Amino acid sequence: MLELTRITAGYDPRDPVVRDASLTIAPGESVGLLGPSGCGKSTLAKVAALLHRPDAGTVVLDGRPVRGWRHGAPRAQRTAVGVVFQQPRLSADPRLSLRELIAQPLRATGRRAEVTDRVAELAPAVGLTAELLNRRPHEVSDGQLQRACLARALVLRPRWLICDEMTAMLDASTTAALVAVVEAYRRESGAGLLAVGHDRVLLERWCDRTVGWQGISGRVATQESMSPTG
């Protein structure tokens, strides 16, 4: 299970953007997190991805409480969670080819020996040709770069996957293709998924269940507490 309990998080402890929110995802389950822009979905997604330390509350991953946070959780637990963000250009190192980008987590965890095989498996699965793999981010489209970012998120075979507005910048056919890749991975691996967005139709079609911001907040969220604080 990926269990977030009574999470308070944000960027200023005196004025958190997520207050007292709880959310549990079972292995193999897909959960859509819906909410208006600025309500704190991405912040909660970063906590679920073990990239952002909550100010209060607990995160339990596969039965083990996450401890020893710095900005994020310790690497041993973090690598169990793959994450894809909305804007691939912000999360992709512009100096790397798409091949290197996909392989990055394997290199970072000392698993270089697996690079050739994993890239050869994942590139066709996400729809990237050998020629595209040699290009750098500024030489490909947003959709092609997002395909590489999805492959990078899957390269360590995570047990949990967080897709934060993964398809927000993409056209309908690329959206369908990437959702199909995630679903194939989920079926094959039994991974749990948190898909964040504001496209209710997409998330309701994609996920086993969807939760709105009010559904995950420990207190009954008021419109004020859902709004951007700035």
Ligand X SMILES: Nc1ncnc2c1ncn2[C@@H]1O[C@H](COP(=O)(O)OP(=O)(O)OP(=O)(O)O)[C@@H](O)[C@H]1O
Which residue ranges make up the site for ligand X (CB under 6 A)?
A: 11, 17, 35, 37-43, 165, 198, 228-230
Cβ proximity to ligand X, 22 vs 109, nearer residue: 22
CA distance 159 to 76: 13
Q: How far is the CB of 217 from ligand X (least distance, A)?
A: 13
CA distance 164 to 172: 17
Strand spans (E) along the chain: 2-9, 18-25, 30-34, 56-61, 64-65, 81-84, 160-164, 192-197, 209-212
Q: Which residue is nearest to ligand X (CB)?
A: 42
Q: How far is the CB of 174 from ligand X (least distance, A)?
A: 19
Instruction: Give the long-range contacts of residues 217-223, CB within 8 A, separation 24 or more.
Output: 217/19, 217/20, 217/21, 218/6, 218/19, 218/20, 218/21, 218/22, 219/19, 219/20, 221/19
Q: How far is the CB of 213 from ligand X (least distance, A)?
A: 8
Cβ proximity to ligand X, 114 vs 142, nearer residue: 142
Q: How far is the CB of 225 from ligand X (least distance, A)?
A: 11
Cβ proximity to ligand X, 63 vs 230, nearer residue: 230
Cβ proximity to ligand X, 15 vs 117, nearer residue: 15
Cβ proximity to ligand X, 127 vs 215, nearer residue: 215
Beta-carbon contacts of 205 under 8 Å, excluding residues fewer than 6 positions away, are none
Q: How far is the CB of 133 from ligand X (least distance, A)?
A: 29
Cβ proximity to ligand X, 189 vs 227, nearer residue: 227
Q: How far is the CB of 37 from ligand X (least distance, A)?
A: 3
